[in-house]
Amino acid sequence: MQVSDEPVVLVTGGARRLGAAIVRLLHARGLSIVVHYRSSADEARRLKAELEGVRPGTVAIVSADILVPDAPRALIEAALERFGRLDMLVNNASTFYETPFDTASLAQWDDLIGTNLRAPFFLGQCAAPHLAAHAGAIVNMIDVHAHRPLKDFPIYSVAKAGLAMLTQALARELAPRVRVNGVAPGAILWPEAGADEAERARALARIPLHRTGSPEDIARAVAFLLLDAPYVTGQVLAVDGGRSTML
């Protein structure tokens, strides 16, 4: 095993959508990347090939279901086996779907809480000693609805609220060697299931900047908190075009 000369970051859910934008920007900033994915194998392989075409040997891809109890430790061990160090962690992997209160199930609770809250907790626990060795950092991907619940998404809203509190709690637990912050995206990418034009118009009307953001907006916020904010910890940065002022 050769220890990387470059800082190493693990990005969960990093093969596509917001995760891929984060991976591309952090790689462009000189980091080596461990890209976690669950089922997006083709996207992960294409992303690795793209980035290693720029800097060979700087990207590893690892498949895991982060709901499996041993997955957090296995992911951290995979990063260490490949690069010999781990400096940063981005908890980006998430599940998001409606769970109306009167029909929500235990399986949905376990899935949404497990992916959005439990997995970041135990990934942080497993990563912490290695991050501390390099004065590292964690960024958790939260949501503007961590503070104002989204109708028909009570479990998701609760999970993201828990992740916001976990961000503050770990900022205290892991100080002074590890900083922990969060990014709360607003309307960046429409759900893959789609949204009708009327629904999109209503959403845009609630955003003071009157437009959606881009995945690169989120990636820049993550990079700032990881690389350019050495005196910032325990904070959640809303990247939402001002939407949180309207909620």
Catalytic residue among 37, 97, 156, 231: 156
Q: What is the DSSP letter of 94?
A: -
The two three-digit tokens of residue 29, written as one number: 């900033």
| Secondary structure string (H, E, C) spanning 166-220 | HHHHHHHHHCCCCEEEEEEECCCCCCCCCCCHHHHHHHHHCCCCCCCCCHHHHHH
Is 140:121 a contact under the CB 8 Å cutoff? no
Between CA 125 and CA 8 the distance in angstroms is 17
Catalytic, 37? Answer no
- Which distant-in-sequence residues (6+ apart) come within 8 Å of 46 by Cβ? none
- Phi, psi (deg, nearest 5) at residue 87: -105, -30
A 10 A CB-CB count for 173 gives 13
Residues that are catalytic: 156
